[in-house]
Amino acid sequence: MTTRNARGTDDVAVDPADRRSPRSHTGEIASTVAQALDLADAGNDVFIAAPASADDPRGLYGGRLTAQGLRAASLTLPDHRRAHSMHCYFLVPGDATKPITFTVTRERDGGRYSVRQVVASQDGIDILHLAASFQREQSGADYQAEDMPATVSPAQLVAVPQDPRMLDLDVRIPDDADQYHRWPTRLWIRITEPLDPDPTNPDPNLHTCGLVFISDMCTGLSKAPMVKEVGILPSIDHTVWIHRECDPNRWMLMDLSPESTSGGRGMYTGRIYDEDAVLLASLAQESLFRNREKRNGSHTGSRNGHAS
């Protein structure tokens, strides 16, 4: 088939052999990141994710929703193009007990780059809008400005119990001289179960989706002034730039820093390194930064609520 090109040039035919097909699944609740990224192909660039939980009343974890949106986009690409950036807006909290429909629009397939728009919805209501760009592999200058911060290796740390929504993540938290509130800003993370269904044929975009799943954990705003007074920090938007190939089944260090708070919003940035101190990705997120209370005065929601 021929992809639609928004600008009318450089249309690219998609070779079925180049398309990474999703594995068929039974709709069962995922217990691993690999299972969560296993989307059902409904045809016409529409993909379905099974419910995240049978009975969890909380909203969806944003990293999971974003990673699934990027996965849907990646399943419509020509010639093994790889994600290099994505930006999304969280519109309303999703329902973890319902399936999610991801509708992909092929905005452009040029000679080197492809752009996709993805809308995630439940019951006809949009819950996420995502845009992603993919690049045909090519060589170029290799430079990173920031060294990985000095820290102990994950082998010297103990695993920290996680929210069940984090699935099969192994998280280790090194000591941090800078005080934070509730959420650590520097942590070692890896996905324990293999992402690739066929280890002999690894999928770089699937690996990137694993990194994106991780990228929404915690918040750099936990070190911002007044964070103890603002309560929860619902996400407004989230951006990830992928600089180099990654393998989330190996240890990665995520380091987050607050940048600004004003107007009831806060913004932080972050970097993700591999264990060899190579910069894999950079990220930025804006969240609400205001005191939202119930009528009885207690705080509402959780870290992964969405802005409204």
Query: Can you name the residues that pair with 117 across neighbouring β-strands?
Result: 105, 131
Give the integer Cα–Cα distance in Å for 48 and 39.
Answer: 5
> So what's the pLDDT on residue 179?
74
pLDDT digits (tens, 9 = 90+) for 110-119: 999 999 999 9
> So what's the pLDDT on residue 296?
46
pLDDT digits (tens, 9 = 90+) for 251-292: 999 999 999 999 999 999 999 999 999 999 999 999 999 875
Which range among 16-25, 84-93, 158-167, 224-233 shows the weakest confidence by mean pLDDT?
A: 16-25
> So what's the pLDDT on residue 38?
96
Residue 302 has pLDDT above 70, yes or no: no
Q: What percent of the chain has pLDDT over 70?
A: 85
Q: Please give the DSSP secondary-structure letter assigned to residue 299.
A: B
Residue 61 has pLDDT above 70, yes or no: yes
What Å distances lie between residue 140 and 135, 243, 244, CA to CA?
A: 13, 12, 12
Q: What is the pTM of this model?
A: 0.87
The length of the chain in residues reads: 308
Helices within the chain (DSSP H only):
33-36, 62-74, 204-215, 227-230
Query: CA dihedral in degrees (197, 51, 308, 231; nearest 10)?
Result: -80
Q: Mean pLDDT, to the nearest integer, of 207-231?
A: 92
> So what's the pLDDT on residue 4?
35
What Å distances lie between residue 99 and 10, 60, 89, CA to CA?
A: 36, 11, 19
Residue 96 has pLDDT above 60, yes or no: yes
Q: Please give the DSSP secondary-structure letter assigned to residue 97.
A: T
Q: Mean pLDDT, to the nearest integer, of 120-149?
A: 95
